[in-house]
Amino acid sequence: MTAARYTIIDLGSNSFHMLTVTKQDNGFNVQSKHKQKVRLAAGLNGQKQLNQATMEKGWICLQNFKKLLDEIQPVCLLVTATAALRIAVNNQEFLSKAQQILEQPINLISGIQEAETIFKGVSFTEKTDKQLLVLDIGGASTELVLGKGHDVHVANSLNIGCVTWLNHYFADGLLNEYNFSNAINAAKQVIVDVKPQYTKYDWQLTLGASGTIQAVNEVNQKQKLSEHLSYELLLAIKQQCIQNQSIKTLNIAGLKKSREPVFASGLAILIALFESLGINTMQLSNGALREGLISMMFSGQTNFS
């Protein structure tokens, strides 16, 4: 007998993800995963309108996901949309057609719901009783969550992301000290408003849960620059970016081609987080939003209150 399959679809601001798992003991087994760079956040204009070409790209991706869903036939399916679709003033146009394609309701979750779900994913996979600070840099938002066990003490979703910061601070495609400084300082201006909520706590471990942090880890593993994911490591990788001079010519050992366009902008946000919150080192988390959604399905929770 085939084990029951659970599927989540995450309409992120940078990529769309589809993950199918089966239950196993206290965790899960991955049956299949699919990802496509849609970069919804890059399709937002100055009036926060999502352009037609980007919407079409998203719908085509979901048509492919629907074919896969018909084959998988999960017992439970949960679909969420995050920051880019929260921001888009014409989000209903995109979501209405997306729901028709998937034949499934889509949960457009708030920034706080996203942050809390990310923390659920970390709790589900890490199983630690330490006080945690969790960072997740997305395409159009960055989630900062502090908590312990299953309890969230502080959760914020900030309007800074690797795709939006690319458009604002690296729009000329140049990797230089000027662009990095502007991007880092602009991120700090956003972080400063929530900083006191975190610095009053003594957290024991900082965990990073995002494509940017995964990419930094992969660069470090390939080049063996540092024992830890440290502030010094981030500055060393920033210098490598500057030596490459432009996004178009960016070539860093260990960095995936698909991550290159948004790597510098994500790195700038990460440096700003380290500097603002006094972080020295962090670890890569095994869990984030998608794992949080899986934990919700496993416990029978398939909607957001």
Full residue range of the structural domain in which residue 275 is found: 127-284
Instruction: For residues 53-73, give the mean pLDDT.
Output: 97
Return the CATH number at 146: 3.30.420.150
186 and 249 assigned to the same domain = yes
179 and 280 assigned to the same domain = yes
135 and 260 assigned to the same domain = yes
Would you say residue 303 has pLDDT above 80?
no
pLDDT category of residue 55 using cuts at 50, 70 and 90: very high
| CB contact at 8 A, 124 and 89 | no
Per the structure, the count of domains in the chain is: 2
Distance, CA of 20 to chain centre: 18
Would you say residue 305 has pLDDT above 70?
no
299 in any annotated domain: no
**pLDDT one-digit tens code per residue, 178-224:** 999 999 999 999 999 999 999 999 999 999 988 899 999 999 999 99
140 and 263 assigned to the same domain = yes
Amino acid at site 197: Q
**pLDDT one-digit tens code per residue, 138-157:** 999 999 999 999 899 999 99
pLDDT category of residue 301 using cuts at 50, 70 and 90: confident
- H-run or E-run covering 209: none
58 and 133 assigned to the same domain = no
* Alpha carbons 164 and 40: distance in angstroms, whole number: 10
Mean model confidence pLDDT for the chain: 95
By mean pLDDT, which of 59-63, 280-284, 287-291 is the weakest?
Answer: 287-291
* Alpha carbons 71 and 64: distance in angstroms, whole number: 11
**pLDDT one-digit tens code per residue, 86-141:** 999 999 999 999 999 999 999 999 999 999 999 999 999 998 889 999 999 999 99
94 and 210 assigned to the same domain = no
Question: In angstroms, how far is the first alpha carbon of the chain from the final one?
Answer: 35
State whether the Cα torsion 187-190-193-195 is positive or negative.
Answer: negative
Query: Between residues 65 and 128, which one has the greater pLDDT?
Result: 65
The dihedrals phi and psi of 110, each to the nearest 5 degrees, come to -75, 170
Question: 44, 75, 108 — which closes off a domain?
Answer: 108
Bridge partners for 208 per DSSP: 135, 284
145 and 254 assigned to the same domain = yes
Give the pLDDT confidence score for residue 300 in this predicted structure.
Answer: 86
pLDDT category of residue 1 using cuts at 50, 70 and 90: low
Question: 80, 108, 136 — which closes off a domain?
Answer: 108
